[in-house]
């Protein structure tokens, strides 16, 4: 059984996609051990409670320094000892010591086709604003392992989504969520639970299904 911790900051739509796919059996052999938010008002915490999933809030605002917050977050996760940490819209920089402690055990969803529109400053609607300003015809989402860079870890899955001439950042954001994010995040978790994802020399490989 793959035990996962899901880290969230806001509405928790990607969390909900994971919960739904676990409950309907699309994600196999997986359970959510804990949902952690840095925002006590995050709707994601309500989603966890509704599905009887343990949850807590660990907010930088509640600590005298970011260093103390980082240590508390790391200690909480170390005590929980999940097999995989899923960043599902977690708007906090992951400290290097946490990345080292959970090497190739943290995954993130990013709302673009990395390496486009990623890195420092590219998050939320800013990603889609930049894509529309550039005039791209295709955008999408990427699931990747987290390393000490920003959106630079090994790519697990990507899914392309068409950009329409009438798109606003909000409309494009919603379409990428529905057509890409909510599909490839659950798929990545299922592949990891099945032991089909390997990282070799900084590149993620997926074992092909055998007939």
Could you say which of 51, 110, 128, 144 is catalytic? 110
**Cβ atoms of residues 54 and 22 within 8 Å:** no
Q: Are residues 131 and 85 in the same domain?
A: no
Q: What is the mean pLDDT of residues 124-129?
A: 95
CA distance 128 to 112: 8
Q: Are residues 38 and 123 in the same domain?
A: no
Q: Does pLDDT of 64 surpass 80?
A: yes
**Cβ atoms of residues 142 and 181 within 8 Å:** no
Q: Does pLDDT of 61 surpass 80?
A: yes
For the chain, the first-to-last Cα distance in angstroms comes to: 24
How many angstroms from the chain centroid is the CA of residue 25? 20
CATH at residue 208: 3.40.50.170
- Check residue 211 and give its pLDDT: 44
- DSSP-derived letter for residue 210 is P
Point out the domain boundary residue: 102, 128, 159.
102
Tens-digit pLDDT profile for residues 161-188: 999 999 999 999 999 999 999 999 999 9
Q: Are residues 125 and 192 in the same domain?
A: yes
- Check residue 208 and give its pLDDT: 78
Tell me, yes or no, if 51 is annotated catalytic: no
Q: What is the mean pLDDT of residues 34-57?
A: 97
* Bridge partners, 108 (sequence order): 87, 144
Q: Are residues 144 and 209 in the same domain?
A: yes
**61's tokens:** 């605002």
Q: Which helix (H) or strand (E) holds 19?
A: helix 13-23
Phi, psi of 204 (to 5 degrees): -90, 135
Q: What is the mean pLDDT of residues 24-34?
A: 98
Domain that residue 146 falls in = 109-211
Point out the domain boundary residue: 71, 102, 133.
102
Q: Are residues 90 and 146 in the same domain?
A: no
Q: Are residues 162 and 201 in the same domain?
A: yes
Domain count, the chain: 2
Q: Are residues 48 and 71 in the same domain?
A: yes
CA distance 21 to 28: 9
Q: Are residues 129 and 66 in the same domain?
A: no
- DSSP-derived letter for residue 208 is P
Q: Are residues 35 and 12 in the same domain?
A: yes
Closest to 175 (Cα-Cα) out of 133, 138, 145: 138
Q: Are residues 96 and 127 in the same domain?
A: no
Q: Are residues 4 and 93 in the same domain?
A: yes
- Three-state DSSP class for residue 143: strand
Q: Does pLDDT of 210 surpass 80?
A: no
Point out the domain boundary residue: 102, 133, 164.
102
- Check residue 209 and give its pLDDT: 62
**35's tokens:** 């949902």
pTM over 0.85: yes
Q: Are residues 98 and 114 in the same domain?
A: no
**Cβ atoms of residues 36 and 73 within 8 Å:** yes
pLDDT-above-70 percentage for the chain: 99
């Amino acid at each position: 059984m793959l035990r996962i911790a899901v880290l969230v900051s806001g509405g928790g739509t990607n969390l909900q996609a994971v919960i739904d796919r676990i409950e309907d059996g699309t994600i196999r052999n997986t359970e959510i051990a804990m949902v952690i938010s840095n925002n006590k008002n995050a709707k994601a915490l309500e989603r966890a409670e509704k599905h009887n999933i343990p949850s807590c809030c660990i907010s930088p605002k509640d600590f005298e320094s970011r260093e103390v917050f980082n240590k508390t977050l790391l200690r909480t996760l170390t005590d929980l000892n999940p097999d995989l940490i899923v960043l599902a819209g977690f708007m906090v920089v992951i400290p290097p010591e946490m990345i080292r402690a959970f090497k190739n055990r943290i995954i993130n969803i990013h709302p673009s086709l990395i390496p486009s529109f990623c890195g420092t400053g590219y998050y939320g609607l800013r990603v889609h604003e930049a894509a529309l300003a550039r005039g791209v015809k295709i955008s999408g989402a990427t699931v990747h392992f987290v390393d000490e860079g920003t959106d630079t870890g090994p790519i697990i899955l990507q899914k392309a989504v068409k950009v329409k001439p009438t798109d606003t950042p909000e409309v494009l954001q919603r379409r990428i969520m529905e057509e890409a994010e909510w599909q490839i995040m659950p798929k990545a978790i299922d592949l990891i639970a099945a032991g089909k994802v390997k990282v070799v020399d900084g590149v993620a490989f997926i074992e092909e299904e055998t007939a």
